Amino acid sequence: MPNDAPTAAARDELTSRVLPQMVFSDASNPLTAPLKAPEGLSPDACSQRRFSIEGNAIVTGGSGYLALTAIRALLEHGASGISILDVGPSLSKAETGISQLRQDFPQSTIIAFEVDVRDPTLVESVVKRTVEKLGSVDMLLCFAGVVGTAHAHEYSLDEWKRLLDINTTGSWICAQAVGKQMIHQGTGGSILFIASISAHHVNFPQPQVAYNVSKAGILQMARSLAAEWARFGIRVNSISPGYMDTILNHGAGLDEGRNIWASRNPMGRMGDPEELTGPVVLLSSKVAGRYITGTDIMVDGTPFSGDLDG
C-alpha cells in the first residue's frame, strides 16, 4: 500500500503556515466614514442628493431588459457614464434600446463592449478600456446570467458547468477585475450582484437545481467580498428578484407555470422590471447606501423566506 504520510519537510511546511487575515476599516478611514450633507441645502437639493448616483457603471448582461431598465434608472439619478457588457447577439438585439438611452441622456457617455464574462483576460481588457473612455469605474452591476430548467437526473455535466461558469464564476471574474480597479483608484465604489429568490428557496413547479446553486453562491460571494473590501470603501450587495414579467417568462408553454407562480404569491402577480430600480439606486448610491454592505434585498412580492417560493 502507498505511504500517504507526509514527509518531515511537508510537516514542517504545514506547521509553519501563516493564516492570511482580513483587515477591517476604522473610523479614521475617509472611504468608509459617514458622508455629511453640505450646510444650507434646500429640501429639494437634500432629497436629490440622498439618492444621487455619481460616476460610471459597468453593467454586465447590460442589453437585457432588466439591465436596460436599471441603466435608465442610474442615468435618471445622475450617472455620468455606462459601459454595457454583453455577448454579441444580445448587443445586436438591444441596439434600439441602447440608442434610445443615448438620445434620452446626451449628457452621459454610454459605451458597449462584446464580452463573454467567462473570459478573464477579455474582462480585464474591457475594464481598462472603460477607464480609458470614461475615466473611472465606480459601480459594477452583474446582470449577466442564464437559466437552466431540467430534471436533475437528466442534467448533463457540461450544462451544469456552463451555467455555473456564467452565473457564478462569471460574476466573480467581473467583480475581481473591477475590484482591483477600484482599489487602484482609491475612491471606493459599489458592486451589485443580481441573485434570485432561487438562492433562498426551491422553485416550483420547475426543476432547476443548477440555477439555484449558482445563485446561492452569489449570496455568499457578496458577503465575503463585502467583508474583505470594506476597508477599500467598496460596498458589495445583492438583489434577489422574484419572477419578473419579461419576455423570458412569456409564451403559451409557460402559461401553467405563470398561473402557479401567481397563485403562490400574496400579490397575485409577477414583478415589473421597474420595481427593481428602487433597490438598484439605493444600493448603488454612495449616499443612500453608504452603510449598507453584504446585504441581499429580496424583491419578490412575498413575505415568505424559507419554504417553497411564494
Could you tell me which residues come within 8 angstroms of residue 169 by beta carbon, excluding any fewer than 6 positions away?
A: 118
155 flagged as catalytic: no
Residue recorded with cell 455555473: 164
Q: How far apart are the first and last CA of the chain?
A: 55
Of 108, 215, 238, 284, the catalytic one is: 215
215 flagged as catalytic: yes
Rounded distance, CA 85 to CA 91, Å?
8
* Beta carbons of 289 and 281 less than 8 angstroms apart: no
Of 108, 190, 198, 211, the catalytic one is: 211
CA angle 231, 234, 235 (to 5 degrees): 110
Q: What are phi and psi of 56, to 5 degrees?
A: -120, 145
Could you tell me which residues come within 8 angstroms of residue 76 by beta carbon, excluding any fewer than 6 positions away?
A: none
* Beta carbons of 267 and 30 less than 8 angstroms apart: no
The C-alpha cell of 241 is what? 428578484
- Of 126, 50, 102, the residue nearest 278 (C-alpha): 50
Q: 51: exposed, middle or buried (C-beta count within 10 Å: 0-12, 13-18, 19+)?
A: middle
Of 196, 214, 240, 284, the catalytic one is: 196
80 flagged as catalytic: no
Rounded distance, CA 76 to CA 104, Å?
10
Identify any residues that bridge with 60 across adjacent strands, giving them in sequence order: 85, 142
Catalytic residues: 196, 211, 215
